[in-house]
């Protein structure tokens, strides 16, 4: 069984955190300096480069894990990781990996971390909550962790998140807010805030998160990294804590498109433990991402998606459209109704899941989460029925668009990352609550399970993301378009502050 740092009830300065097992042999600062001198892979290196350095013997998985642990210990934000694996345990796994067929391991020795709604053997799956701290340690890893490790990756810890994934800000009342790696006074976005912060801050090259209404795409946008929300049912959700089963997706964050594709390919495959998981065979994307996009029909989402945006979102979409040669504008039918229906389904399914907890321990919830769940419990059944019927109609209509286009471009968020604690912003002259409206452009897409790559556009003073949306099961097309943008320098994950 893996060993982990005991979960913290409240955030503490990193220097005061008690680590499980043996401490680093040297202080974080000394080890970081030593690693730079001895030729260990550099901070922020790509997954492919890390794996190749391990295969060639230029460095070892052990050294990379040591560097990763040192960098996490030296990091100034105590609310990124909520639990860290015992370093000696992780290094032992990395050392043992040398006996395996390393040429067959695409993620050989690559460190990664997961949002704490993934079951991790030996760790309670808190899902950002106080209540779940009473759960016993998980007896087995989530399927996607097992698949990442089978591909050679090494798990180093579990990451902060919004309570029960019902969050767009990355602010957690129990563990403290995730902070943006480019400006620590700003939000990471949520609910996969720790995942966005860890990858955006170059603490790990890959993190896993979840996306129900935008929780991969929003942190990707705010933290300036690449994120993939795959087709609904593409990646197994087995042994992860749910939010809205009919909308939940799991997927990776990375600092490059190639890294995103490597992680995604490693996690593909049917899984009988998730009833929604596809029975389709493996459909690798890594061999395809470098293909040109000249044969793709690319359009810009108009109407709804060109409203409720700040100038930075308009600029980001304009840059992407120009780089991809997109001039056609398409109307996504009834997108505003789709967002409203997504709200109805999310709040009612979420309320049903948590009803017993709401009755027994209402005061242990984040009040904002609790109140939305209580409201969901009171939504009349006929409204839920209408939302589900509309969902079927909307899916049919949107899929008709993909008969004439291959890619649709849309904003990922209406603005750059708001300030921590910011309650409202003004969209199209109307003052609106931040928390509820950050996902205004993501919800109509995940509502029908379309695959999306969020690409970071490095504007000043902060990055912002754009959605590259494809038809179901065509993650390869979205990744191809994202790769073209990356090669052109239009999309890039900027270095975090201080690196």
**SS3 of 139, please?**
coil
Using DSSP's 3-state secondary structure scheme, residue 212 falls into coil
Using CA atoms, how far apart are residues 411 and 262, in angstroms rounded to an integer? 25
Q: Tell me if residue 221 is catalytic.
A: no
H-run or E-run covering 249:
strand 249-254
- Write phi, then psi, for 456 (nearest 5 degrees): -85, 130
- Choose the catalytic residue: 60, 191, 240, 256: 191
Q: What is the DSSP string of 441-472?
A: TTHHHHTTT--EEEEEE--SSS-EEEEEEE-T
127: Cβ contacts below 8 Å, ≥ 6 apart: 116, 117, 161, 163, 164, 165, 241
What length does the chain have?
Answer: 499
Pair 338, 394: CB distance under 8 Å: yes
Name, in order, each residue with C-beta under 8 angstroms of 15's C-beta and a sequence gap of 6 or more: none
CA end-to-end span of the chain, whole Å?
35
Where b means 16+ CB within 10 Å and e means fewer, 298-319 reads bbbbbebbbebbbebbeebbeb
- Rounded to 5 degrees, φ, ψ at 29 are -65, -40
Active site residue 3: no
Q: Which residues contact residue 408 at a Cβ distance below 8 angstroms, ignoring those fewer than 6 apart?
A: 298, 299, 300, 301, 330, 332, 401, 467, 469, 470
For residue 245, CA distances in Å to 212, 213, 250, 289 come to 9, 12, 11, 30
The secondary structure element, H or E, covering residue 248 is none
Helix (H) or strand (E) holding 7: none
CA–CA distance, 217 with 356 (Å, rounded to integer): 30
Has 138 been annotated as catalytic? no
What are the φ and ψ backbone dihedral angles of 159, each rounded to 5 degrees? -115, 150
Contacts 24+ apart (CB under 8 A), 277-281: 277/233, 277/234, 277/235, 277/236, 277/237, 277/238, 278/231, 278/233, 278/234, 278/473, 280/234, 280/473
Options 192, 195, 215, 236, the catalytic residue? 215
Q: Among the options 60, 115, 124, 346, which is catalytic?
A: 115
Residue with tokens 């209580």: 374
**Residues assigned a catalytic role:** 115, 191, 215
């Amino acid at each position: 069984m893996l060993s982990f740092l005991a979960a913290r009830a409240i955030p503490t300065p990193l220097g005061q955190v008690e680590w499980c097992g043996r401490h680093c042999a040297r202080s974080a600062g000394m080890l970081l300096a030593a690693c730079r001198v001895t030729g260990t892979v550099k901070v922020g290196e790509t997954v492919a480069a890390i794996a190749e350095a391990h295969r060639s013997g230029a460095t070892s998985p052990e050294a990379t894990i040591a560097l990763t642990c040192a960098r996490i210990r030296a990091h100034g934000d105590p609310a990124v990781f909520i639990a860290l694996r015992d370093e000696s345990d992780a290094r032992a796994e990395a050392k043992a990996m040398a006996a395996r067929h390393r040429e067959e391991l695409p993620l050989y020795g690559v460190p990664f971390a997961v949002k704490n709604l993934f079951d991790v053997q030996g760790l309670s799956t808190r899902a950002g909550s106080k209540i779940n701290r009473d759960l016993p340690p998980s007896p087995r890893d989530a399927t996607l962790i097992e698949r990442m490790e089978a591909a050679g990756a090494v798990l180093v810890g579990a990451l902060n998140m919004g309570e029960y994934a019902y969050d767009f800000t990355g602010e957690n009342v129990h563990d403290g807010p995730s902070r943006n790696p480019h400006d620590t006074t700003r939000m990471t976005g949520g609910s996969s805030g720790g995942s966005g912060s860890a990858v955006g801050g170059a603490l790990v090259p890959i993190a896993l998160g979840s996306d129900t209404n935008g929780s991969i795409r929003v942190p990707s946008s705010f933290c300036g990294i690449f994120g993939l929300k795959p087709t609904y049912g593409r990646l197994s959700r087995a042994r992860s804590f749910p939010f809205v089963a009919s909308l939940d997706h799991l997927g990776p964050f990375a600092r490059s498109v190639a890294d995103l594709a490597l992680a995604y390919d490693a996690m593909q495959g049917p899984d009988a433990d998730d009833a929604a998981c596809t029975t389709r065979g493996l459909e690798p994307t890594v061999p395809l991402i470098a293909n040109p996009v000249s044969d793709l029909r690319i359009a810009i989402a108009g109407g709804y998606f060109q409203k409720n945006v700040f100038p930075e979102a308009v600029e980001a979409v304009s840059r992407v459209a120009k780089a991809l040669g997109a001039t056609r504008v398409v109307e996504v039918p009834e997108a505003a109704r789709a967002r409203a229906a997504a709200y109805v389904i999310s709040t009612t399914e979420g309320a049903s899941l948590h009803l017993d907890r709401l009755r027994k321990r209402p005061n242990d919830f984040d009040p904002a989460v609790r109140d939305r769940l209580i409201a969901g419990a009171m939504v009349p059944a006929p409204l839920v029925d209408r939302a589900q019927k509309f969902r079927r109609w909307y899916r049919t209509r949107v899929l008709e668009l993909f008969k004439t286009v291959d890619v649709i471009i849309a904003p990922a968020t209406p603005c750059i990352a708001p300030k921590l604690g910011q309650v409202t912003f003004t969209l199209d002259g109307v003052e609106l609550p931040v928390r509820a409206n950050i996902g205004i452009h993501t919800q109509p897409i995940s509502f029908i399970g379309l695959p999306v790559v969020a690409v970071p556009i490095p504007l000043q003073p902060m990055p912002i993301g754009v959605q590259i949306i494809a038809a179901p099961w065509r993650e390869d097309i979205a990744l191809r378009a994202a790769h073209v943008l990356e090669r052109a320098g239009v999309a890039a994950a900027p270095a975090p502050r201080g690196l």
